[in-house]
Structure 1
Amino acid sequence: MKGIHLRIYTYENSRHAGKPLYEWLLEAAKAQGIPGGSVFRAMAGYGRHGVLHEERFFELAGSEPVLVEFITAPEQADALLEHLQQEGVQAFYARIEADFGVIAPA
């Protein structure tokens, strides 16, 4: 199948509507009918401002990079991005064409 790999980059401590942004993004995508999504926490990373964010043993509140990603139909990816724009979410994203499917025993 052809579709879109939508990747949204944020930080662990980013919040929207009173909850962690990554959690809000998963709920918003599910409400829009996107069939699945995943969140990955990075060990370290930096963004457009060049500030290095990395996990340290003594830090309690994480500013580590978080990746939220979905693989879905182009229309669903566009609708989610439009929804994020309307909600005032500020995050970097990548919209990548993808071939996807399910591998199953014959």
Structure 2
Amino acid sequence: MAIEEISARLTIHLSANAVWHHKPAYAEIVHRAHRRGLAGASVFHGFEGYGTHMTIHEDKPSRLRAHGPCAVVLVDSEVRLHAFLETLEDILTVNGVAVLDRVSVHRSGRRQ
């Protein structure tokens, strides 16, 4: 039986080479989400993209992982993601932009 619930998705767009206290900013975001017990977080590295500087980042895939665009995607309730977003001000003032939107989560079967 499929289960559907209304949740939210927080997507943080940043450069893969953005650092926070000598470690990748995307890793810091994932670790903070894990410590707060959010439902899930994933990092996706892009092959091509551009941002505020309007420079298109395109290169060999092996180099893009370190220098190209990436997105951290988190899913949880809208209230929890709003609260989590406030804890990211220190990272987002230097790196990236965040987008929060409502989503429907579909699950099949039982949740482990």
Q: Normalising by the residue count of structure 1, what TM-score does the alignment of the two structures yield?
A: 0.86
User: Which structure shows the bigger proportion of residues in strand conformation?
Assistant: 2
RMSD between superposed Cα atoms in Å: 2.1
Q: Identify which of 97, 101, 107 aligns with 1:102.
A: 107
Distance 1:60 1:66 in 2: 9
Where in structure 1 are there 5+ consecutive unaligned residues?
Answer: none
Q: Identify which of 72, 93, 96 aligns with 1:91.
A: 96
Same amino acid, percent of matched pairs: 24
| Partner amino acid, structure 2, of 1:91 | G
Q: 1:35 Cα deviation (Å)?
A: 1.8
Matched, 1:41 2:52: no
User: Which structure shows the bigger proportion of residues in helix conformation?
Assistant: 2
Q: 1:58 Cα deviation (Å)?
A: 8.7
> Which consecutive segments of 4 or more residues in structure 1 shift more than 6 A?
none
Q: Identify which of 75, 82, 87 aligns with 1:78.
A: 82
- Secondary structure of 1:38's match? strand
Where in structure 2 are there 5+ consecutive unaligned residues?
Answer: none
Q: How many residues align?
A: 104
| Partner amino acid, structure 1, of 2:47 | M
Q: 1:32 Cα deviation (Å)?
A: 1.4
Check 1:88–1:11 CA distance in 2 against 1; reply closer, same or farther (3 A cut): closer
